Amino acid sequence: ETGVTQTPRHLVMGMTNKKSLKCEQHLGHNAMYWYKQSAKKPLELMFVYNFKEQTENNSVPSRFSPECPNSSHLFLHLHTLQPEDSALYLCASSQDPGTYNEQFFGPGTRLTVL
């Protein structure tokens, strides 16, 4: 139990569906992150939020839309996804963004796009 929760844990969706992933951290952290983990690839950073403001978008397609209403919650809205978007989506948080701040990860959402 890392203090970061993600729901749902598993999601299957069609290419025309719209769904959202939710992440919540109970650690009082200021920074939150979305990562994508595909088979045989390194973990890929998608978005970084610091104090609810997006500070980094790692060239992510617009079919992924993040939302951070407050420092404790982070969403990833999904629409018109492609089968190659199937992956494990991990949320993380840290006290602050930056080099020497340990990131705490949630258990991930396993997404399958049909």
**Chain residues in the site for other proteins (CB under 8 A):** 2, 4, 6, 33, 40-43, 45, 48, 55-56, 88, 90, 92, 97-100, 102-108, 110
Q: Which is nearer to other proteins, 81 or 93 (CB)?
A: 93
CB of 40 to other proteins, least distance (A): 7
Q: How far is the CB of 94 from other proteins (least distance, A)?
A: 9
Place of tokens 């919540």: 24
Q: Taking a C-beta distance cutoff of 8 angstroms, is the pair 43, 107 a contact?
A: no
Closest CA to 63 of 13, 9, 8: 13
**DSSP string across 25-82:** E-S--SEEEEEEE-TTS--EEEEEEETTEEEEE-S--TTEEEEEEETTEEEEEEES--
Strand partners, 35: 45, 90
Q: How far is the CB of 104 from other proteins (least distance, A)?
A: 7
Residue type, 93: S
Nearer to other proteins, 83 or 98 (CB): 98
CB-wise, 80 or 101, nearer to other proteins? 101
Smallest distance from other proteins to CB 76, Å: 15
Nearer to other proteins, 13 or 88 (CB): 88
